[in-house]
Structure 1
């Protein structure tokens, strides 16, 4: 699974799931994020140092949309704290106590967690106990 999170609002703006972590997977997540945000230019896209983020296809997408690529320092998980926190929350709140699911059921569970619970209703202490959507509504001109 790959996710793109707006670090200001903590909203998941792009995500993709597949059986393997590939360049196509991260390109799909970034494409969703770009579409949802109206194809902004000159924004920083941060990731870890996985090979999929170094791939030709991903770098071409970054260049095509005039984005700036940023990568974590080697061996430093704190650079991706927001994404790490999201994955922890998702595992604990949506997956941990669920019975083993089919791939389709898992995709539906993840969709509901991201698009309904996490973005729309889950309150975040870093956002003054607002959901990402409500925080964005209040703070974006």
Structure 2
């Protein structure tokens, strides 16, 4: 990486100018349940976040739900707005893709979508506890932010012409991320490999 940097060959991260979190609302916020939690198994808790992705048509919004243990993206949905109805579709996919029935926590920021009745009702329906950051503190949802960064800066580096093209690119990118991209924090294994194997002793890096 030092050599690549010296040759100006590293991908430069784009600055985020689009706000995707509105935590100033009257809806109920939930306490942070994962502050002292040690991750020991897949589907112990999911982390969720929303990020923006642009095509030449417009700005789109990508909702992601990731397993904290394996770093596997369990659910996603691309939409043209950040409505709770669209964001909950990523959660629905993630729940459908579960391979265990163990108790689970869902962690997110305190955004309006995650506090909404439709989102919280979906969690309650599946017996999933809700956990949120203490105020607007991105470091308390660092893993979700990290996954956003990997997708946007390693895979979605070219602007698509249309939302349909972008949707296909995201599907391909997530498949590659889950099945082919090794993680240093997973002892250079892929998310899908870790998700479907017995727990391993992993590095502590995000």
TM-score > 0.5, shorter chain as reference: yes
The answer for unaligned runs of 5 or more in structure 2 is 1-61, 200-206
Deviation at 1:126, TM superposition (A): 0.7
Q: Find runs of 4+ consecutive structure 1 residues off by over 6 angstroms.
A: none
| Distance verdict in 2 for CA 1:60–1:137, change over 3 Å | closer
For the pair 1:106 / 2:106, whether they are aligned, the reply is: no
Deviation at 1:24, TM superposition (A): 1.1
Query: Which structure has more strand as a fraction of its residues?
Result: 2
Which residue does the alignment assign to 1:33?
A: 94
The answer for unaligned runs of 5 or more in structure 1 is none
Which residue does the alignment assign to 1:12?
A: 73
Which residue does the alignment assign to 1:127?
A: 186
Deviation at 1:4, TM superposition (A): 0.7
1:84 to 135, 145, 148: 145
Q: Distance between the aligned counterparts of 1:126 and 1:13, measured in 2? A: 18
Q: TM-score, normalised by structure 2?
A: 0.63
Deviation at 1:41, TM superposition (A): 5.8
When structure 1 is superposed on structure 2, of 55-64 and 31-40 the one drifting more is: 31-40
In terms of Rg, which structure is larger?
2
Deviation string 1:50-104 (CA, Å, 9 cap, x unpaired) is 10001110111111111100011112101111111111111111222x1442101
Q: Distance between the aligned counterparts of 1:35 and 1:112, measured in 2? A: 19
SS at match of 1:138: coil
For the pair 1:49 / 2:110, whether they are aligned, the reply is: yes
1:41 and 1:67 in contact (8 A); partners too: no
SS at match of 1:83: helix
Which residue does the alignment assign to 1:139?
A: 198
Report how many residues are paired.
Answer: 138
Question: Alignment RMSD, CA only?
Answer: 1.5
Q: TM-score, normalised by structure 1?
A: 0.91
Q: Distance between the aligned counterparts of 1:135 and 1:42, measured in 2? A: 19
Query: Which structure has more helix as a fraction of its residues?
Result: 1
2:110 and 2:133 in contact (8 A); partners too: yes
